[in-house]
Structure 1
């Protein structure tokens, strides 16, 4: 729109537009922008306050930290000198970590599908059950995976079994939440159309809900598999088996080249999983 005249307001000439409305004053525009960005300013201020408070509580010696930075570079340099010493053990523990990751993902996904179906508000057989399950999943997720593994270690002892069971707690809670959200995004018209034909809840789930959310389920499963592998790699350091124990033992024995090779194998497998999951998601979209 173009102005077709001017109007004098408080001694200032303001253009009058063809619609008959006056263009907002610059002061009003500035106030509107400030109000619009107020949540951002609050977030930045809160982040700054929390950062300062965290540093104060930690009581960190920044001079000492700065003096150790060259040491960090030296450790990384030594780790890049890969060593194949006891490579068979490193490879065995890596396969152990992969096995823990696969089993925890499969068990968690199976339980998560059932929990997600019961927790989704649009298909749950009892509305309060959705709230109860989501609250329970939030409780499970609030406890770190390492804590769950330590609790299971007290029952099952050291080894991969504790890693699988302990990791599965978090996996089930994760899948129960995201699968329920994926099921709730299925159009209500699709569900009602099947119900109108006389389909029961199981038929509605497998005939409409599951196929409609299949792409989202694959994407979430691929993401969780990557997370599980990262966590399983660390769980070996607390006695749950896997390549984490090899890395910890090598670092404690100053076998940095051996630890570096184990880290490299972890990176290569994680990269392969990422490339494979990306290819699968692209093929599904086609």
Structure 2
């Protein structure tokens, strides 16, 4: 899953926190706590290395059944791929349109009243804490099968990221231009438009482009719950045990996501790296990007056959389903509900630990300023891109088919996704370190290993700690929905409750998911504030 990578700490154009050296007294305590939590979590879900080795034969047999890949209906798959891309674009555009006014209300320096600030921040937090696939499940039940529930799910969850980062960018603006505009007698709206917006547009653009990338990854699996996109064809192939067709669809998904990531990198580079010698090129680039975005939005409405009025009228049916969940019935599932919630947390903890251990070597080799050879750099970067291109839910489906139902499949899926994501963050953080200490070590004859341990890792450690805590937050959030495909956690109970129309039990599950995700987010955020 996306990685909802909602608060991604290292991306061009996104607001970056000030880096401070980690507090040494807290790092050992955090390391010990992490080891204990990982061991307890692994024990609670019966996760061990021997289990994985025992499943290698099944994994090999599954791969053999998938080969050679094939596309039985290229035209239909191609249309579904276009549908998936347009869903991501339209969902992100809707989220951005809602997030801009919301961000002004949720920024301390522009909100009209503290009460308005609290409500706006609470709504943003709610959207971020609720997984997008969970939104999709609820909207499918309210609106029926189709692309509209998927678009709305992507839009609502995206508000959690865009609203937060848009507001953070506003809070970091210089107060000088606002005071100058205000002194000229301008009102509130003129002050915001002339003094604040020009300062935040670069950060907003970077965040928006990155969110399209995230939403494309998520939209490919929305079809698993009937919310449109190419995921529906994949789910159909897997349900029918037609593995060669499933692999063919997965390869199409890989190509789409990899191409989109490369395009996103190029767009961010063009839009967020102004040239000093050719300002006209910058204006043309922004104009072209705006024109493409408008054309893509119109095309999405036409191709997906979305009535613009349906983007407003969905509120009534959705509220009808939500009100049927009140009051939540915690007795219907009893202890099973809280056991599933603990299993969800355990899956997130173990998968994050595996991701941390295995991502650091790949991340270092993928850092341009540290890698021992350019060929190693490109191999490492290509491998990271390949791993990141596979959504977690698809990995979970594969591991369930190979290892069977249960939390081990979900843990393996999230661990692999964590390796790709964390390795990229590690590589980015290493490339941003001060080259001075590295040159000092080399000047006294230090080799590659000495430079790595003496000058590279100490500087990159704060960013690594922050990325790890963020990854834990993301993995716990994602693990809440892996149960939809039988990969453990609380998602299975939710899916079954909605499928059987037991809405009061579903309400209890949704509330538990929100509390778990919000608590993990707050704890990891507090630790990051103390260490990074």
TM-score of the superposed pair, with normalisation by structure 1: 0.81
Mapped pair 1:148 → 2:395: yes
Change (3 A) 1:45 1:65: closer
* Deviation sequence 1:185-229 (CA, Å, 0-9, x none): 222221121233343433332222112112111221122222212
Match of 2:511 among 264, 270, 278: 264
Q: Which residue of 1 aligns with 2:301?
A: 55
Instruction: Give SS of 2:480's match.
Output: helix
Match of 1:226 among 456, 473, 476: 473
Q: Which residue of 2 aligns with 1:45?
A: 291
Structure 1: runs of 5 or more not aligned? 1-31
CA distance in 2, matches of 1:212, 1:197: 19
* Deviation sequence 1:129-177 (CA, Å, 0-9, x none): 1111111111111121111111222211111111111122211111111
CA distance in 1, matches of 2:357, 2:309: 51
Q: Which residue of 2 aligns with 1:239?
A: 486
Match of 2:319 among 73, 90, 94: 73
CA distance in 1, matches of 2:490, 2:341: 5
Matched-pair contact (CA < 8 Å) for 1:160–1:240: yes
Structure 2: runs of 5 or more not aligned? 1-277
Mapped pair 1:174 → 2:421: yes
Mapped pair 1:209 → 2:480: no
Mapped pair 1:196 → 2:443: yes
Change (3 A) 1:281 1:68: closer
Mapped pair 1:94 → 2:341: yes
Matched-pair contact (CA < 8 Å) for 1:104–1:171: yes
Q: Which residue of 1 aligns with 2:12?
A: none
Q: Which residue of 2 aligns with 1:118?
A: 365
CA distance in 2, matches of 1:34, 1:125: 39
Matched-pair contact (CA < 8 Å) for 2:301–2:308: no
Change (3 A) 1:36 1:189: closer
CA distance in 2, matches of 1:170, 1:237: 18
CA distance in 2, matches of 1:35, 1:179: 32
CA distance in 1, matches of 2:302, 2:345: 40
Matched-pair contact (CA < 8 Å) for 2:469–2:528: no
Matched-pair contact (CA < 8 Å) for 2:498–2:506: yes
Q: Which residue of 1 aligns with 2:521?
A: 274
CA distance in 2, matches of 1:103, 1:202: 29
TM-score of the superposed pair, with normalisation by structure 2: 0.45
Equivalent residue runs for 1:155-166 within 5 Å: 155-166=402-413
Change (3 A) 1:188 1:64: closer
Change (3 A) 1:48 1:203: same
Instruction: Give SS of 1:79's match.
Output: coil
Query: Which is further off, 59-68 or 176-185?
Result: 59-68
Once the two structures are TM-superposed, the CA of residue 125 in structure 1 deviates from its matched residue by 2.2
Once the two structures are TM-superposed, the CA of residue 113 in structure 1 deviates from its matched residue by 0.8
Number of aligned residue pairs: 254
Structure of higher CA gyration radius: 1
CA distance in 2, matches of 1:37, 1:87: 60
Matched-pair contact (CA < 8 Å) for 1:215–1:281: no
* Deviation sequence 1:3-60 (CA, Å, 0-9, x none): xxxxxxxxxxxxxxxxxxxxxxxxxxxxx99875443332222122112222222234
